[in-house]
Structure 1
């Protein structure tokens, strides 16, 4: 067989009669190797009975893709796993051609345009090697061509709205990386083996963030190169998973998932423009608080005690809703306007990035040469207490704080300590009517966010008529 003439074929020319050909393509997806013990090869003399399989998805044009599955010894599969990676241009030499409809493994592999799949074994002249000829650069550019058009993607808001009804479905999404969490080592319950897990928070123009878990060794390494608020991903066949603990939708991978990094399409460019205008990643929840005053305060009428709020946010009454609004009658037990607590936040007037206490101006390169242009806003931590408990670290921010104190932040900064003290005692230890927006803890938010959007001292008659026992 090694003496047969080998011809070069394109994916779209492969058919059931194709033999002894060479395919040149770039790897766009790669499965983790799977190993099993072959009983037919088990013997006392041969202790190395472990066999393995790995699948590569390759393309040789903007349209054409095909799967190639390699079977062999554990040593051979481990060698292929370490040698070939997404983005490599390879020669697939003398593969066997199988109709996809007859290959049961194809239902677990990425969907491709070809009606056929390729298979390689341990024959010496049937193999894969890195391509060393011409055309490598043009072939590598195909990695940035998505395998589905942007018109076939779903927004994260639509997926979140689907909730448990779409649990287990596979969808396509166009998203930006919001943040990347550290790699974790997990013990797989079924096998007892150690496996790495990487969690990435994804976002788009419709949704502030959704968690996606990655178990693929290949992608766990590639994730190190993903830059928050810069890297755009078009993910084909992402798996929707409903997290019972957080009562929210998360995302996961399957063997069919293909990820195109920074896809070369107009929609990806528009999403990049959108996310680059956002504040830094760690401040997105602060941004949510600053925007909370866009809620129609007249619609916040549901009266709850502190215990009821805690039960609905984190306890037995927790539901699938990401946030809810509440009217609470409680005493302000922490309202430190004249002490050491930080109550003023700062942000760059140009790019809206929130600044650290130690920063005199924005650290972003594009703002470095501008004169210091910093805007300030109230960021007051508040504790509220009623007969059922205490809600700590609520946030009274921005316009809501100015409306409560009846003064602008600039005017407040000019006050002396005695003036600030008088202002504080107008509210501290007083029973107040408090309207809050509560954002529940989720895979993208490690703590519940309690944002006060209106605070007024309540009359005894109002409290008596509306306060609840539980």
Structure 2
């Protein structure tokens, strides 16, 4: 266009006119209605968004106009769109401006003001080879975090943090573990809004929920793939979550989401997420398998004491979440095995995916049924594992612990055979093996994953089960 000069964000300054800026939208907010000061009784609207044109240069912009016009412009442009902006007003940012607290942190000392009558902002598409190179360079910026790649904290750091009345913002690097369906919620003032919960993980926690309320972010999250999508979340709001009774984070107007960041840290997390245990039972199994010497567990508890410590306590749950070590404990129980089905209809040996540990049923003909797993999706070929998966009931004079998990190598030690060897036993041999343990006084060492707001029942894994010395039982067994 004649007389129009193309500039970059770094070249912006007060008084620049008749200029054109091409950049990519990296964040956007929901338009807000504002009562007009010039024309009392009428409403105007403003839409705020953030633009970027280099790894180092990004700026906030506000588009003002009638409610209909602003809603039309905002609904037609999305995060990841390359736009052409013309006839803007460039203002110096005011550090004490209350609006600054609700906008993303940017590198430019200026802000852009656009108006319905004077400015234009429209979608930009490449029309030739030169434009295509520029367009692809701008799209690549969507994978470069707006903060230092190592500035993030871990989920464990959040759960361990103290509650505070101050508004705090933190950066997170997480992988998507699960994307829940969109829910419709009616607000207190009668509005119908949508929300979605996304569960994320890192190397310190595999089940951390984040609530999404922004419509564009909800749509964006529909494309996230569990175990594949990694997110760098810049400036999420740290707050106490009353429902989960723990510290949590929320996506807010300051947040910039970088999908699949092009960083070393993100690549390491993505590799971890491919095979990380996500389900609580998988987490417990991994912890149980990591115990090299169960005999070192010397803390003696009765069944009733285990139930009391493992059950959810809303009063103490705040402290439970602050210390990740408090989410599980191990102990020694002098007890009897009162239920162990090795020769009946219960499942004893299973075939699992070696990557995600999903059970491979016969109907899948040895294929992983989890499409989010690299094996299930066909991206990786891996030999399945044959392993024990047994449920045991432990009982003493105070009560019973049904459904204790006897898994993998620990089951091999307790039973004295491998899964393949067990499959070759005759029914009579399986019955004999069962009665070697059933109703015998034993010293059982267990690991317990406590109940919480997301899982009402504790999970228990049997680490070892040895014959109990009567004199030791008499001296150490709790009375209650």
TM-score (normalised: structure 2): 0.84
| CA 213–352 in structure 1, closer or farther in 2 if over 3 Å, else same | closer
| CA 367–185 in structure 1, closer or farther in 2 if over 3 Å, else same | closer
Contact 2:274 2:356 in 1 (8 A): no
Give the Cα separation in 2 of the matches to 1:129 and 1:322.
Answer: 51
- Secondary structure in 2 aligned to 1:254? coil
CA drift at 1:247: 4.5
| CA 52–403 in structure 1, closer or farther in 2 if over 3 Å, else same | same
Question: Any residues of structure 2 matched to 1:11-410 within 5 Å, and which?
Answer: 11-38=9-36, 41=39, 43=41, 49-101=42-94, 103-122=97-116, 124-132=117-125, 134=131, 135-162=134-161, 164=163, 169-189=168-188, 191-244=189-242, 246-278=244-276, 285-286=281-282, 288-295=284-291, 296-316=293-313, 318=317, 319-320=320-321, 321-348=326-353, 351=355, 353-358=357-362, 359-363=364-368, 364=375, 373-410=383-420
- Secondary structure in 1 aligned to 2:150? helix
Match of residue 411, structure 1, among 421, 441, 444: 421
Give the Cα separation in 2 of the matches to 1:368 and 1:169.
Answer: 40
TM-score (normalised: structure 1): 0.86
Give the Cα separation in 1 of the matches to 2:67 and 2:457.
Answer: 45
The superposition leaves residues 243-301 of structure 1 with CA deviations (integer Å, 9 ceiling, x where unpaired) of 4554544332121111111122233233323333447x55x732641441323424433
Give the Cα separation in 1 of the matches to 2:38 and 2:328.
Answer: 58
Of 159-168 and 130-139, deviating more is: 159-168
Aligned equivalent of 1:10: 8
Aligned equivalent of 2:372: none
CA drift at 1:376: 1.3
CA drift at 1:151: 2.1
Aligned equivalent of 1:46: none
Give the Cα separation in 2 of the matches to 1:404 and 1:216.
Answer: 52
CA drift at 1:31: 1.3
Give the Cα separation in 1 of the matches to 2:446 and 2:250.
Answer: 33
The superposition leaves residues 146-203 of structure 1 with CA deviations (integer Å, 9 ceiling, x where unpaired) of 21231222233444444647995322222221222222223334x3323222222222
- Secondary structure in 1 aligned to 2:472? helix
| CA 424–226 in structure 1, closer or farther in 2 if over 3 Å, else same | same
The superposition leaves residues 436-461 of structure 1 with CA deviations (integer Å, 9 ceiling, x where unpaired) of 22223457767532111122343444
For this pair of structures, how many residues does the alignment match? 457
CA drift at 1:207: 3.5
RMSD between aligned alpha carbons?
3.1
Of 415-424 and 110-119, deviating more is: 415-424
1:456 pairs with 2:466: yes
Contact 2:312 2:453 in 1 (8 A): no
CA drift at 1:73: 3.0
| CA 149–335 in structure 1, closer or farther in 2 if over 3 Å, else same | same
Contact 1:211 1:444 in 2 (8 A): no
Give the Cα separation in 2 of the matches to 1:216 and 1:202.
Answer: 18
Contact 1:209 1:444 in 2 (8 A): no
Give the Cα separation in 2 of the matches to 1:326 and 1:452.
Answer: 10
The superposition leaves residues 289-347 of structure 1 with CA deviations (integer Å, 9 ceiling, x where unpaired) of 14413234244333333343333333335523222223333333321111111121223
CA drift at 1:55: 1.2
1:426 pairs with 2:436: yes
Give the Cα separation in 2 of the matches to 1:362 and 1:167.
Answer: 50
- Secondary structure in 2 aligned to 1:141? helix
| CA 438–71 in structure 1, closer or farther in 2 if over 3 Å, else same | farther
The superposition leaves residues 354-385 of structure 1 with CA deviations (integer Å, 9 ceiling, x where unpaired) of 33222332343787997x94431111112233
Contact 1:20 1:94 in 2 (8 A): yes
Contact 1:355 1:362 in 2 (8 A): no
Contact 2:312 2:451 in 1 (8 A): no
- Secondary structure in 1 aligned to 2:222? helix
CA drift at 1:220: 0.8
Structure 1, unpaired ranges of 5+? 44-48
| CA 315–173 in structure 1, closer or farther in 2 if over 3 Å, else same | closer
Give the Cα separation in 1 of the matches to 2:222 and 2:441.
Answer: 50
